[in-house]
Amino acid sequence: MAIRTTARALLSLATLRETRRRLATRRGRGLVAGIAVAYAVVSMLVGSMLILEPIGGDYFWMVLWSGNGTHAWDYPGLLVVGSWGILSLPLFPTVAMIVVSIGVGIGGAAAVVLLLPWLRRLTVGSRRTATAGAAAGMGPAVTGLATLGACCCTTCAGAAGISVVAATSGTTLSALLVNDWYIGAFQMVVVAVSLLAQERAFRLTGPACPVPPPFDRRFAAGAALRLGLLIAGVTWSLAMLVEWGTTDPLTAGPGLWYHWILEHQLLALLAVGAALFPQELARAFRALGHSFTTYALRVALAVAGVTWAIGVPPTLVSAGLGGLVNEMLGYAGVGAAWGAVPPDSPLGWALVFHWLMQHLFLGAFALAVAVDPRRALAPLLWSTPAPRVGVGRDAPASRDPAWTPSIAATPGPTGPASGGTESS
């Protein structure tokens, strides 16, 4: 029953139930459509998919079916030429632009819908609730603007984090920009993560909202830890796609698949999940208890954490594996017989980020969760709202330093004590 409840809660979050509920009006749907269309037009202009310039000549359109073996993800594509300019719609960049535009429209519209009541009702309570919701709703819009036009243009280098993804996955920025589908995938993932964070924040607003934590050192430490996990997890997960550009997954050996599944995605998904949904993750570990699934997951996290944060013996390097120590030995010029692995890029800020954040930080966090999930997740909960003790909106909040919201809280009439909804 607990597992089923957790699954329903995660599905509710993934489908943005609370966000969709707040936008389920004619005004809300109109705002989503308007903001999405405006963002799409600006994105096409920035990415040179749409060129508004009088060129004269006859109007024509054509479907391009191939590109002589290059950029297969761009075909089939549509090319429209008229006296007003040129419109080019390659396949995957167009799909990525549409998905991102919808995400930005949802986030921006949610912010507007929540901000309008605040302008009408200037009471303290409504102002606080609406301001928090508006700030949450602006998240997807901000991340969309940060990567504006990136999915449409093979020469755009302004996408947030693209250079880090390139440097930490063994490729160059120019090679990454030539394979522009990575940028579209990056942009969609970033906006999707922002929408999930927005949905999570929306569930912490309203009459059943728990007491927010005080803005002290514990809050700052917990928030910084969650932000670091989010940045490291997203960039490291996307780096796998870049590696697939140089290594065919269909012909890869067991060592590389271990690297991609456990060292890449398991560590990255744990970090992103812990950053965005620490209460839900704590609740899931408690619900699973001492089951076989829990121990299997913890063993997988421990093995991946050791091989990635520390390293592997020389016999496993030939299989495509290598951890932090292996890469540092490779940078120091030690021979392959000692287990050295050449680093993915020259020494610089990108390589330092790769070693500290993606190797050491992600691996150490996975090891901590494997050893003791409750203690490892406790610092993340310092920046989450505390449950109320008792029943009702005005019930006092628990401020026990050892409190872990989703583990210790008990549900009340309005739902779980952590937020008043089944998945907050």
Position 189 pLDDT exceeds 70:
yes
- Asked if 255 contacts 321 with a C-beta cutoff of 8 angstroms, the reply is yes
Query: Of 134, 242, 137, 141, whose CA–CA distance to 191 is shortest?
Result: 141
> What pLDDT digit, counting tens, does each position of 34-63 carry?
999 998 888 888 777 888 888 777 788 899
Position 199 pLDDT exceeds 70:
yes
Which is more confident, 408 or 34?
Answer: 34
pLDDT confidence tier of residue 392, bands split at 50, 70 and 90: very low
Which is more confident, 200 or 35?
Answer: 35
> What pLDDT digit, counting tens, does each position of 128-172 carry?
444 444 444 444 544 444 444 434 433 333 344 455 555 555 455
Position 402 pLDDT exceeds 70:
no
Give residues with Cβ within 8 angstroms of 86, minimum separation 6.
Answer: 50, 51, 53, 55, 79, 80
User: How far apart are the C-alpha atoms of 43 and 49, rounded to whole Å?
Assistant: 8
Q: What are phi and psi of 74, to 5 degrees?
A: -85, -5
Position 418 pLDDT exceeds 60:
no
Q: Which pLDDT value is given to residue 50?
A: 87
User: How far apart are the C-alpha atoms of 12 and 420, rounded to whole Å?
Assistant: 14
Least confident of 84-88, 181-185, 361-365, 400-404: 400-404
> What pLDDT digit, counting tens, does each position of 331-380 carry?
888 887 888 988 766 777 778 888 999 999 999 999 999 999 999 999 99
Q: Which pLDDT value is given to residue 301?
A: 96
Query: Of 386, 373, 371, whose CA–CA distance to 417 is shortest?
Result: 386
Q: Which pLDDT value is given to residue 121?
A: 56
Position 21 pLDDT exceeds 80:
yes
Q: Which pLDDT value is given to residue 205?
A: 53
Mean pLDDT score across all residues of the chain: 75
Position 416 pLDDT exceeds 90:
no
Tokens of 124: 């303290």
DSSP for residue 262: I
Q: Is 342 exposed, middle or buried (0-12, 13-18, 19+ CB in 10 A)?
A: middle
Position 393 pLDDT exceeds 50:
no
Position 176 pLDDT exceeds 70:
no
- Asked if 191 contacts 143 with a C-beta cutoff of 8 angstroms, the reply is yes
Q: Which pLDDT value is given to residue 279?
A: 85
